[in-house]
A and B are shown apart, each in its own frame.
Chain A
Amino acid sequence: ETGVTQTPRHLVMGMTNKKSLKCEQHLGHNAMYWYKQSAKKPLELMFVYNFKEQTENNSVPSRFSPECPNSSHLFLHLHTLQPEDSALYLCASSQGLSRERSGELFFGEGSRLTVL
């Protein structure tokens, strides 16, 4: 098992669909993150969870709904997305939220999302 696993790796959905992205970490970390990676743009932090509690929502539209049932699992529920939401969605984890710990992120391979 790799440290951070994301499923599915690829997802194509219509604007009216509802789908979910899943992330699981096997590193014993307490903090988990969702990032959006679009072409030619910096990685955008979406959400941060620490011990299942959300600590950061970076002004993300409500059509993205995160869920963190425990420290090892993180979901991103998607509904009524727009074509501009097409991107690579990266999950990451860290041991904690201190400056040192939260900078050392362990990433999954990402879920490539295409919205038609």
Chain B
Amino acid sequence: AQTVTQSQPEMSVQEAETVTLSCTYDTSENNYYLFWYKQPPSRQMILVIRQEAYKQQNATENRFSVNFQKAAKSFSLKISDSQLGDTAMYFCAFRGSGNTGKLIFGQGTTLQVKP
């Protein structure tokens, strides 16, 4: 069975600094997608960034980038120049094969950006 693990329940970072959130996953598939979602307090969860497994280049979206290590099954999220609005819970998610639309989420990491 596919699993997603986020080993850091809580993290904090000073404003303007860089922080990295960890995610590992387990799968026997070769072609899949990985995602990071952000859930601000009492607000909607939104997609931050995604990575296609067959692409070697790490995805980047403005201040957000990933370090995708396929062999190690690792998919970490780096947030540069952290802002107060980055305070949220972050979820890593895996989408494998199949036509049912099933997305597997990790337990989440609560990130606090301090002024």
Contact = CB atoms under 8 A, between A and B. Distances in A.
B77 to A, nearest CB: 15
B105 A103 contact: no
A110 B107 CA distance: 18
Q: Is the interface of A mostly helix, strand, loop or mixed?
A: mixed
Interface stretch (A19-27, A41-49, A62-70, A71-79): A41-49
Interface string B71-96: 00000000000000000000101011
A89 to B, nearest CB: 13
B107 A50 contact: no
Contacts, number: 68
**Which range contains the number of B residues in contact with the other chain?**
20 to 34
B16 interface: no
Given A45-B102, A50-B101, A99-B95, A107 B46 contact: yes
A105 interface: yes
**Which range contains the number of A residues in contact with the other chain?**
20 to 34
Interface string B23-58: 000000001110101000011111100101000000
Given A102-B95, A105-B37, A107-B45, 11 more contacts: A42-B91, A42-B106, A43-B105, A45-B102, A50-B101, A56-B100, A58-B102, A102-B101, A104-B47, A105-B103, A107-B46
Interface of B: 4, 9, 31-33, 35, 37, 42-47, 50, 52, 91, 93, 95-97, 99-108
22 contacts: A2-B44, A40-B107, A42-B4, A42-B91, A42-B105, A45-B104, A55-B100, A97-B100, A97-B101, A99-B33, A99-B95, A99-B96, A100-B52, A102-B101, A102-B102, A103-B35, A103-B50, A103-B95, A105-B37, A105-B103, A107-B44, A110-B44
